Amino acid sequence: MKMKLVSIGILCTLLLVPTIAFAENKVGYVITTGRIWSTVDALVGLMNAIFAGLSLSRSIRRIGNGGRNGAIISVVVALIVIVYALIHMTMFPGNFGTGDGRAAAVIAIVTGIISLVLAGITLIRSHRAG
């Protein structure tokens, strides 16, 4: 399972790098610090949503402690992602398309909320099982 996840991550990276390089050379797309910070935040939120889903599947299968540890970690990381994205949106007041990374910050907030919901379901199920 871990090998599949690593290979999917490598594949996504290999597909993403030429796309950014092409856009930068042909269209004049510039990667600003705001875009980098919010994109990293959105990627952490996406990975956290995936891990929250994995802990939910552990709670369904009743493996180990029912995914409780993963859910607690996922809640903490989701709160950090949401707070960081909200701080980013206040620090960079530009609109969409200005290079401030507002769209990725919105995506980070959405993935953080999804992670919170999945982790909450996991905690409820693990509490009932215990």
* 78 touches 116 (CB < 8 A): yes
Angle at 63 between CA 62 and CA 68, to 5 degrees: 80
Four-point Cα dihedral 100, 101, 106, 108, nearest 10 = -140
85 and 122 belong to one structural domain = yes
CA–CA separation, 22 and 25 (whole Å): 5
88 and 107 belong to one structural domain = yes
At residue 128, what is the residue type?
R
81 and 101 belong to one structural domain = yes
123 and 74 belong to one structural domain = yes
**Tally of domains in the chain:** 2
67 and 108 belong to one structural domain = yes
19 and 69 belong to one structural domain = no
How is residue 38 written in tokens? 């919010």
CA–CA separation, 49 and 46 (whole Å): 5
Residue 102 CA: distances (Å) to CA of 54, 90, 108: 28, 10, 10
CB atoms within 10 A of CB 96: 9
16 and 71 belong to one structural domain = no
17 and 71 belong to one structural domain = no
85 and 125 belong to one structural domain = yes
For every one of its 130 residues, what pLDDT tens digit does the chain have, with 9 covering 90 and above? 566 666 777 666 666 666 555 555 555 566 777 777 888 888 888 888 888 888 887 776 665 666 777 888 888 888 988 898 888 888 877 777 676 778 888 888 889 898 899 888 888 877 665 5
66 and 110 belong to one structural domain = yes
CB atoms within 10 A of CB 60: 13
**pTM of the prediction?**
0.68
* 115 touches 42 (CB < 8 A): no
**What radius of gyration, in Å, describes the C-alpha atoms of the chain?**
17
Domain that holds residue 102: 31-129
39 and 5 belong to one structural domain = no
15 and 42 belong to one structural domain = no
